[in-house]
Structure formats: C-alpha cells, structure tokens
Amino acid sequence: MIAPMPEPTIEHRTFELTHYDGVKRTVYCTEEEKQFPDGCLITSTTDLEGVITHVNDAFIEMSGWSKDELMGAEHYILRHPDMPKVAYQDLWTTVQEGKKWHGYVKNLRKNGGFYWVYATIVPSFRDGEIKGYTSVRRKPSRSKINEMAALYAQMIQAERGEA
Ligand SMILES: Cc1cc2nc3c(=O)[nH]c(=O)nc-3n(C[C@H](O)[C@H](O)[C@H](O)COP(=O)(O)O)c2cc1C
C-alpha cells in the first residue's frame, strides 16, 4: 500500500502509472534534482515481491517519504516515468535468477523531484532459496547520468512506438 503523492505547487508533469500488480497511481514530476550526497550509501531491502522491509536514513532523506510510509510499501513507490520499463524487467529477471544486477536509476521523490543513483541489487539466500533482495546505491558521475538520461529517453520513445 502506498500513500498518494501530493500535487506539487511548482510546474510539473502528471502521469498515470500502472504497476506490475495492476495498481494505478497518479504521479507528478518536477525538474527539481536532489544531488546524491558525497560519501553516502542509500540502502533498502525487500521481500520476494519487492515490498520494502528495510530502509536506511539516507533513503528516507533522498526519497522524501517517511519511514512509516516506506515500510511495507512496494518499491515502485520510487518509479520515475522517465525510466524505461525494460530496465526494471532486466532488474527482476536478473535477481530472480539469483544474480547481481547493476544499473543507473532515476528515482522519483515524494515532492515530484528526482535523484539519480547507481544501484547494485543482490538476492539474499536462506537454505539455498532466495528470501529477498538488497539494494545499495552509490553516487553516479554527472557524465554517466547525462549518457543514461539520453539513452533512457530513446528507449521510452521506442516503448511508446514513437521511435
Ligand atoms: C531491492 C530492490 C530495489 C529496488 N529499487 C528500486 C528503486 O530504487 N527505484 C525503482 O523505481 N524501482 C526499484 N526497484 C524495482 C521496483 O520493484 C519496480 O520493479 C519498479 O519500480 C517498476 O515497477 P512497476 O513496473 O510495477 O511500475 C527495486 C526492486 C528491488 C527488488
């Protein structure tokens, strides 16, 4: 369960997202970027379905959601409409096979702003079975952010059949 996003008072774009489980949600995006702080790691863990089971303080600070709002919420609470769907598909296929996934992700903040991360997601095992997933996010370089933003924009156009 996810609390609704408040509509920003500054200029924004509005999207209706449909998530993997059929949940539909209205999200708002502004062009306000929050810089990833130097020397910091943003971490979270999820269960097998991607429901958040742990977040660190940096996650709370960067996402803008409170700990109460995050715990038990689906990780798609951070899905940004500028991210191509295929990136998340690649993430899930990789970790469900028990492998490590790396990737650049543009995340949506509660206030409609965004932040870029370089994420590493690993499955955690108990008795040989995957029991959940952990993500550790590092600060990406500005040149890589620019490269990935251009690539993702092309991929989204292709997904919408506009390419
Ligand atoms: C451990 C873990 C961390 C994740 N971190 C993020 C994240 O930071 N941002 C994000 O948009 N999706 C993240 N995801 C992927 C989401 O679960 C979800 O697949 C994605 O937001 C797209 O959701 P949707 O296709 O249902 O809308 C993470 C998944 C896992 C397992």
Rg (CA), the chain: 15
The tens digit of pLDDT for each residue in 71-81 reads 999 999 999 99
The tens digit of pLDDT for each residue in 68-114 reads 999 999 999 999 999 999 999 999 999 999 999 999 999 999 999 99
Mean pLDDT for the stretch of residues 9-18 = 97
> Which residue has a Cα nearest atom 13 of ligand 1?
75
Q: Are 73 and 52 a contacting pair, CB within 8 Å?
A: yes
Atom in ligand 1 nearest the alpha carbon of residue 95: 31
Cα separation, 145 vs 11, in Å, equals 23
> Which residue has a Cα nearest atom 7 of ligand 1?
78
Share of the chain above pLDDT 90, in %: 95
- What is the per-residue pLDDT for 94? 98
- What is the per-residue pLDDT for 160? 85
- pLDDT > 60? residue 8: yes
- What is the per-residue pLDDT for 41? 97
- What is the per-residue pLDDT for 162? 65
Atom in ligand 1 nearest the alpha carbon of residue 80: 11
Cα separation, 55 vs 75, in Å, equals 11
CA of 11 to the centre of ligand 1 (A): 26
The pick from 88, 101, 137 for probing ligand 1's pocket by mutation, whose C-beta has the most ligand atoms within 8 angstroms, reads 88
- What is the per-residue pLDDT for 163? 55
98 Rama class: left (phi>0) / alpha (psi -120 to 50) / beta: left
Atom in ligand 1 nearest the alpha carbon of residue 135: 1
Ligand 1 binding pocket (C-beta < 6 A) is: 17, 19-20, 44, 46, 50, 75-76, 78-79, 88, 91-92, 105, 107, 121, 133-135
Q: Give the chain's length.
A: 163
- pLDDT > 70? residue 31: yes
CA of 150 to the centre of ligand 1 (A): 20
Residues facing 117 on adjacent strands: 105
Sheet containing 114-126: order of strands: 52-55, 42-46, 129-138, 114-126, 101-108
The tens digit of pLDDT for each residue in 102-148 reads 999 999 999 999 999 999 999 999 999 999 999 999 999 999 999 99
162 Rama class: left (phi>0) / alpha (psi -120 to 50) / beta: alpha
Q: Are 84 and 152 a contacting pair, CB within 8 Å?
A: yes
- What is the per-residue pLDDT for 113? 98
